[in-house]
Amino acid sequence: MSGGALGEMLFRFVVGGAVVALFSLGGDVFKPHSFGGLFGAAPSVAIATMALTLHKEGSRFVATEALFMCGGALALGAYAVTVSWLLRHRRAAVPFTAMMAVPVWFVVALAFWLVVRAT
């Protein structure tokens, strides 16, 4: 592992850890207490990645990455709503339901990509 790669990993660890700690602190202060766990991991990774990308590629590239992170979040939200609805109304097994809803994530992500690409 090169020194640059090791430095990037260390940076991601420090920034990610700091953001997770801030969300955890927010989870202790605000209600519900699940707030910290709910938002802690993904935003910290995204922030660390965007900071590294800004340093390497510049703000225009980071803006594009952020846009597609939003698309991924929309796709994940659609997937989560679908799984939740199916589990409440169809009472199927969780692993089966989770696997069967993956196409929802894919379709929403693909649609987002196609719309952004067309503009």
Best CA proximity match to 48, nearest among 15, 72, 79: 15
Give how far Cα 3 sits from Cα of 14, 51, 55, 105, Å: 16, 18, 16, 37
Q: What is d(CA 7, CA 52) in angstroms, rounded to the nearest whole number?
A: 10
Phi, psi of 2 (to 5 degrees): -75, 165
* Cis peptide bond prior to 95, omega within 30° of 0: no
> Looking at per-residue confidence, does 107 or 34 come out higher?
107
What are the tens digits of pLDDT across the range 48-84?
778 888 888 899 999 998 899 899 999 999 999 999 9
Q: Is the pTM of this model over 0.85?
A: no
Q: Give the distance between the most distant pair of CA atoms in the chain.
A: 52
Return d(Cα 60, Cα 21) in angstroms, integer: 29
